[in-house]
Chain A
Amino acid sequence: MRPLALIAGLAGAVALLPAVVESGFVLNMAIMTLYTALIAQAWNILGGFGGQFSFGHAVFFGTGAYAMAVLQVKLGLNAWLALPVALTLGAAVGAMIGALTFRYGLRGSYFALVTLAFAEVFRILANTFQFTGAGVGIQIPLRESAADLQFAGKPGFLFAILALTVASLVIAWWLKHSRYGAWLQAVRDNEDSAAALGVDVFRVKLAAIALSGALMSAGGAFYLQYFRYVDPHIAYGPAISVEALLAAIVGGMGTIFGPLLGALVLHGLGEATRSLMQNAPGINLVIYGVLLVLIVMFLPRGIAGLFGRKA
């Protein structure tokens, strides 16, 4: 099946879900899976298509979440107006980190470590300043109306995250089929050859990290609207960086549907362990860690790799 038709089919099926199922549990599962797919796709754009492994994608996630929270609570802005600001800030932080790191030619492990350090710096800053609520974090008031980007029930949130995730899938499809996407993948496969063929490596990577940052901050913005609370550890802690990278790698880096597959697998496994072992903190992450090692060992192209090159 053609990827765009598949995306449309999936979107239609999920959109019909609230009409068929009323269980809040199922709808919440669907929302959280799509949300993981979104942040994994954000990581995938830079890591999978661009070959730049970030260990600190939380820096964009947290920026999106905090931008939404600060703009709404401290400046009284409407959530719909805050959203584009949050995305722009995510892209700007991405461009800033990219400009610094790519200008000095950091690659591979060094890039991974620097992104992690940036996330830590942001976490400490958010933990220090009253502006971001310091260690206490920020809670946004409950206003259950679509005009405030909050919804009275799960279906509203489901449609919102579905729209974002579909947009991320279309972006991934575009990367597979556009000139820019070809440049980005050429940079991933061999930076020196790409440069020799006239690709402006620096600008291609810069655009990728800005795009990735914007999508990741959309994930942060959604998180804030859904849970209405953010603190430095949620926003900039390592957990969110790991979640994004894990789902993308397990599902298949550099593929359109890999992050979605990875999100499905992770949430499926998470639910299974939760029902098998009550009150076992950390055990699902133990399984995720083992899965990551096994995937790198035996399935470097992820689950999507099982479906051949087209996926």
Chain B
Amino acid sequence: MLDPAIVFASVLNGLTTGAVYALIALGLTLIYGVLHIINFAHGAALMAALYGVYFLHQKAGVDPYLALPLMVPAMFGAGYLLYRWVIGRASHGRDENILLVTLGIAIVLENLALYLWRSDTRTIETAYTFAMVPIGAAMIAAPKLAAFAGALCATAALLYVVTRTDLGRAIRACAKERQGARLVGIDVEHVFAMSFGIGLACLGAAACFLLPAYYVNPQVGSGFVLIAFTIVVLGGMGSFVGALAGGLLIGVVESLGGLWLGESLGQIGIFLIFIAVLLFRPQGLFGARA
């Protein structure tokens, strides 16, 4: 048996990772809930955002957390234009087409990064990289704790936008009934592009919280893609509460799985959950039956 203190530390670690997973999954679930498309380029977009944070730190000396006000709008703009110029035009009204287009975008982004910056794994070092905070019997890395708090705040902000603002109302209207939304004068294409932009803006925030305790290389996104999909499916496609709960749960599962099964085999738990949920409960834990 393992020492309870180790298990406790492992659960805490899992929760902090899970909060960032939740933030990534929130963007994905928003895009799915509104546009009914699976954004396969989500991981690649996260990778691009991580490079953004990395180069801001290396070239301009911007602290990752201070990069937030730059990265979030930048990713939002990129997402808005990507939808307007590429994804919206290529859809022809078929889900499979969008899936393929976002796959194409993912291939382009990942390999462009490979071409420009080679496959080196890069990390940044800040004054607080190795700082530890004691919680009970466990020591948690300060950047991970900051990521946890930041991811929760970003989630709250997103929930506020979606539930309390006019834009949020328009987004929810388009998600429920796009034809009806069009009839009452909502510019549906604009709302779709806004949703896609907000989805990527979540990644901008996630990247700022992630980099101090993580690394970036051209393939970094693909590791997150299936995890984010698992969370979205687990929480119920389009459900925000589900994404948050699912993210925290998956973080803990990964952490404990790694503890008991080892680093390599530990990941398998996530994919098995993913397959099992899709097969037996495709509406997820919090989602409504489609």
Q: How far apart are B214's CB and chain A's nearest CB, in angstroms? A: 20
How far apart sit A288 and B274, CA to CA, in the bound complex (Å)?
29
| Complex alpha-carbon distance, A214 and B279, angstroms | 24
Stretch from A16-24, A107-115, A143-151, A169-177 at the B interface: A107-115
Closest to B41 in A: A289
C-alpha spacing A258/B267, complex, angstroms:
37
Q: Is B142 an interface residue (CB 8 A)?
A: no
Number of chain B interface residues as a range: 35 or more
Asked if B187 CB lies within 8 Å of chain A CBs, one says no
A-B residue pair count with CB separations less than 8 angstroms: 121
B100 touches A113 (CB 8 A): no
Interface of A is mostly: helix
Given A116-B226, A283-B115, A296-B104: A104 touches B279 (CB 8 Å cut-off): yes
A282 near B38 (CB under 8 angstroms)? Answer: no
Knowing A108-B96, A124-B267, A282-B218, the reply to whether A289 touches B280 (Cβ < 8 A) is no
The residue that A286 contacts in the complex, of B101, B111, B230, B274, with Cβ under 8 A, is B111
- Which of B4-12, B45-53, B70-78, B86-94 lies at the binding interface? B86-94
Interface residues of B in 216-249 (CB under 8 A from A): 218, 222, 226, 229-230, 233
A121, B268: Cβ atoms under 8 Å? Answer: yes
The B contact surface, by secondary structure, is: helix
> Which of A109, A121, A282 is close to B275, meaning CB atoms less than 8 Å apart?
A121
B108 touches A289 (CB 8 A): yes
Check A292 for interface membership: any CB of B closer than 8 A: yes
Which residue, B90, B265, B280, has most C-beta atoms of chain A within 10 A?
B90
Cα distance A297–B99 in the bound complex, in angstroms? 12
Contact status A120-B99, CB under 8 Å: no
B residues 110-144 touching A (CB-CB < 8 Å) = 110-115, 118-119
Q: Which residue of B lies closest to A284 (CB)?
A: B111
Residue A290 is within 8 A (CB to CB) of chain B in the complex = yes
Query: What per-residue 1/0 map shows which CB atoms of B261-275 lie under 8 Å from chain A?
Result: 010110110011011
Complex interface: chain B residues within 8 A of A280 (CB): 115
> What is the bound-complex CA distance between A176 and B82, given in angstroms?
38
A300–B97 CA distance with the chains assembled, in angstroms: 9
A159 to B105, CA, bound (A): 37
Contact of B108 among A116, A125, A290, A297 (CB under 8 A): A290
Q: Are A288 and B118 in contact (CB under 8 A)?
A: no
Q: Please, which residues of chain B bring their CB within 8 A of the CB of A281?
A: 114-115, 118-119
Give A84-113 as 1s and 0s: 1 = Cβ < 8 Å from B's Cβ atoms.
000000000000000011001010111011
* CB proximity to B under 8 Å, residues A262-302: 280-283, 285-286, 288-293, 296-297, 300
Closest B residue, CB atoms, query A134 = B264
**B62 at interface by CB-CB < 8 Å:** no
Q: Given A290-B108, A300-B92, check contact A109 B264 (CB 8 Å).
A: no
CB-CB under 8 A from B149, the residues of chain A are none
Are B96 and A53 interface neighbours, CB within 8 A?
yes
Are A110 and B278 in contact, with the CB atoms below 8 A?
yes
Q: Is A242 an interface residue (CB 8 A)?
A: yes
Q: Would you call B90 and A297 a contact (CB within 8 A)? A: yes
- Closest A residue to B223 by beta carbon equals A120
* Closest residue on chain B to residue A101 by CB atoms: B279
Whether the pair A109, B107 counts as a contact (CB closer than 8 A) is no
Contact B104 A293 (CB under 8 A): yes
CB of A259 to closest CB in B, whole Å: 16
Residues of B near A242 (CB, < 8 A) are: 103, 107
In the complex the two chains form, what is the Cα distance from A117 to B228 in whole Å?
12
A residues less than 8 Å from B33 (CB atoms): none
Chain A residues within an 8 Å CB radius of B105 = 289, 293
Q: How far is the CA of A72 from the CA of B103 in the complex (A)?
A: 36
Q: Are B222 and A124 in contact (CB under 8 A)?
A: no
Residues of A within 8 A of B101 (CB): 292-293, 296-297
In the complex, what residues of A have CB within 8 A of residue B218's CB?
Answer: 282
Q: Is A43 close to B, CB under 8 A?
A: no
B104: chain A residues at CB < 8 Å are: 289-293, 296
B171 to chain A, nearest CB (A): 21
List 23 A-B residue pairs with CB atoms under 8 Å apart, sorted by A's residue number.
A53-B96, A53-B99, A106-B279, A109-B38, A109-B99, A110-B282, A113-B274, A114-B274, A114-B279, A117-B271, A117-B275, A124-B271, A128-B262, A238-B222, A242-B107, A282-B112, A282-B218, A285-B107, A286-B107, A286-B112, A292-B100, A292-B104, A292-B107
Q: A114-B279, A293-B108 are in contact. List 12 more A-B contacts (CB 8 A).
A: A106-B282, A108-B99, A113-B233, A113-B274, A238-B222, A281-B118, A281-B119, A285-B114, A290-B104, A293-B105, A296-B97, A296-B100
Q: Which B residues are within 8 Å of any A CB, using their own CB?
A: 37-38, 86, 89-90, 92, 95-97, 99-101, 103-108, 110-115, 118-119, 218, 222, 226, 229-230, 233, 262, 264-265, 267-268, 271-272, 274-275, 278-280, 282
Q: Which residues of A contact B (CB under 8 A)?
A: 53, 55, 100-101, 104, 106, 108-110, 112-114, 116-118, 120-121, 124-125, 127-128, 135, 238, 242, 249, 280-283, 285-286, 288-293, 296-297, 300
